[in-house]
Amino acid sequence: MTDKRIVLFAGHYGSGKTNIAVNYAIKLKNDGFPVLIADLDIVNPYFRTKDSEKELADKGIELICSEFANTNLDIPSLPPNMYRVVNDKSFRAVMDIGGDDAGAVALGRFAPFISEENNYEMIFVANFFRPLTRKAEDAYDVMKEIEAVSSLKFTAIVNNSNLGADTEAEDVISTFSEAEKLSALCGLPVLFTSCKKELYGEINIKGKKAFPLELQSKLF
């Protein structure tokens, strides 16, 4: 966890950014902060923050996302009130950034404000079970690509390595060395390892901080 006002989650697409962002926002809310979650994904029309709209609303977390999210309109746009994330400093803000450099383009226009306030944590979400980021070196390339288009530098890493609902503790543990290698490559700390909540006890060990995730329910 971090005390910074804005927390941004970016990374390779399909790494679990949305799941972490939603869980992280709920954690902040439970800790007593006023929370706002912003879905900046302009790339992926399926599986996004908007899927958790009701759950977030029930918890009193404000969601800002494209008015076209989860509709049949494939329009890469963001609403004007997205600027509240940077303008309204009474909120803790969680920003869910679209996948890869293509998805992080949308962040560029908010980057000057975020840099100026200088009270943010930009987190690279890594899943070393994703085929194009199996190795720390490949994940590092994605990091550099995202930084180049977003005009912001990462400040930390989250290891979200998983194989979906079937993930075992050994699977997660087997990626610790790759996460450390990535940490050494980019000189940034591993903030925590996120895992489905059932594995929390086995992952939260010997200096490895874990963050338990409530996974979105499966209908099929």
Partner 1 sequence: MSEKVLMKGNEAIAEAAILAGCRHYFGYPITPQTEIAAYMAKKMPKIGGCFLQAESEVAAINMVYGVAGTGKRVMTSSSSPGISLKAEGLSYLAGSDLPSLVVNVQRGGPGLGGIQPSQSDYFQATKGGGHGDFKMIVLAPSSVQEMADLTIKGFDLAEKYRMTAMILADGTMGQMMEPVTLEAPSVNEYDKSWAVTGTKCDRKKNIINSLSLVPEELEKLNFARYERYKAIEENEVMYEEYMMEDAEICIAAFGIAARVAKNAINAARKEGIKAGLIRPITLWPFPNEVFKKAADKVESFISVELSMGQMIEDIRLASECKKPVYLCNRVGGMIPSPEMVLESIKAHYKGGTK
Closer CB to partner 1, residue 163 or residue 184? Answer: 163
Give residue 9's Cα distance to chain centre: 3
Phi, psi of 163 (to 5 degrees): -115, 35
Closer CB to partner 1, residue 29 or residue 48? Answer: 48
CA distance 202 to 118: 35
Closer CB to partner 1, residue 106 or residue 122? Answer: 106
The minimum distance between CB 174 and partner 1, in angstroms, equals 10
Q: Which residues bind partner 1 (CB under 8 A)?
A: 14, 44-47, 72, 74, 127, 129-132, 134, 162-164, 166, 171, 219-220
Counting beta carbons within 10 angstroms of the beta carbon of residue 211, is it exposed (0 to 12), middle (13 to 18) or buried (19 or more)?
Answer: buried
Q: How far is CA 48 from CA 118, 166, 186, in A?
A: 27, 21, 28
The minimum distance between CB 31 and partner 1, in angstroms, equals 30
Closer CB to partner 1, residue 14 or residue 79? Answer: 14
The minimum distance between CB 102 and partner 1, in angstroms, equals 8
The minimum distance between CB 73 and partner 1, in angstroms, equals 8
CA distance 97 to 115: 16
SS3 of 142, please?
A: helix
